[in-house]
Amino acid sequence: MVETVLFWVLAVLSIATALAVITNRNPMYSVLLLVVNFFCIGGLYLTLNAEFIAVIQIIVYAGAIMVLFLFVVMLLNLGSEKSLEPAFDAKKGLAFLLGLAFLAEMLVAMKDFSAIGSAKETFEYGKVEKIGLQLMTQYVYPFEMISVILLVALIGALMIAKKYN
């Protein structure tokens, strides 16, 4: 009962904040609403007993990445909307296509999805021990690949930002 109520409250709230993020004209508000959105999604994870994912969601996204976003927004001082327009124009079509591709991907992934049942059955999956074990055994290859990709991204960012004398 409580689970269902919580789910609907969080689901509606997360969709509402997600919409508000893209419709809001103030970038600062957008970022903060995105933080609220991440909290809602974290709450949804909690109702599924995935405590670890929920906490990580908040630490990594709300705590670290969004803070960096806020930092950038404050630095850029995007006060006027006009400064935003040309930057977005060229990318609009691409963003639309990417969004469409992502939606299709989601639909394909959800086609074979069957409801796992109540949260009690998924209780074991959310534990740190389980996730750690899975990451280090079954999924060790993708896990290591992601770390390499992140490293490449880091080095790439460094190379772009570096000044050559």
Partner 1 sequence: MLFNLNALITLELLLPITLTFVFIAIYALLGVYAERKIAAFIQDRVGPDEVGYKGTLQTFADILKLLQKEIIVPDSADKILFWLAPILIFASVFAGFAVLPFMHSEYYVNINLALLWVMTIVSIDVIGIIMAGWASNNKYSLYGSMRAVSQMIAYEIPLGFAILGVAVIYGTLNINQIITMQSIEGYTWGLWNTKNYGGFFLWSIFQHPHLLLIFLIFFTAGIAECNRAPFDIPEAESELIAGFHIEYSGFAFATIMLAEYANMLIISLLSVIMFFGGWNSPLPNLGNFFLYHWTNGGLFWSSFWLLTKSFLLIFIMMWIRWSWPRFRADQLLQFSWKVLLPASLTLVIFSVLWKLWLHP
23-52 burial: b if 16+ Cβ within 10 Å, else e: ebeebeebbbbbbbbbbbbbbbbbbbbbeb
Query: In the complex with partner 1, which residue's Cβ is closer, 99 or 132?
Result: 132
* Among the listed residues 128, 136, 149, 155, the single contact to partner 1 using CB under 8 A: 128
Residues 82-111 that bind partner 1 (CB under 8 A): none
Rounded to whole angstroms, the Cα distance separating 95 from 88 reads: 9
* Among the listed residues 24, 63, 125, 139, the single contact to partner 1 using CB under 8 A: 63
Q: Which ranges of the chain would DSSP assign to H, the alpha helix?
A: 2-23, 27-47, 51-56, 66-76, 85-89, 92-111, 128-136, 140-161
Residue 53 touching partner 1 (CB under 8 A): no
**Which residue is it, tokens 């919580």?**
6
Mask 25-44, x = binds partner 1 (CB under 8 A)?
---x---x--x---------
Query: In the complex with partner 1, which residue's Cβ is closer, 64 or 101?
Result: 64
Assign residue 117 a region: left if phi > 0, alpha if psi is -120 to 50, beta otherwise? Answer: left
Task: Quote the least distance from Cβ 52 to partner 1, whole Å.
Answer: 6
Query: In the complex with partner 1, which residue's Cβ is closer, 64 or 151?
Result: 64
Binding site for partner 1 (CB under 8 A): 1-3, 28, 32, 35, 46-47, 49, 51-52, 55-56, 58-59, 62-64, 66-68, 70-71, 74-75, 119, 127-128
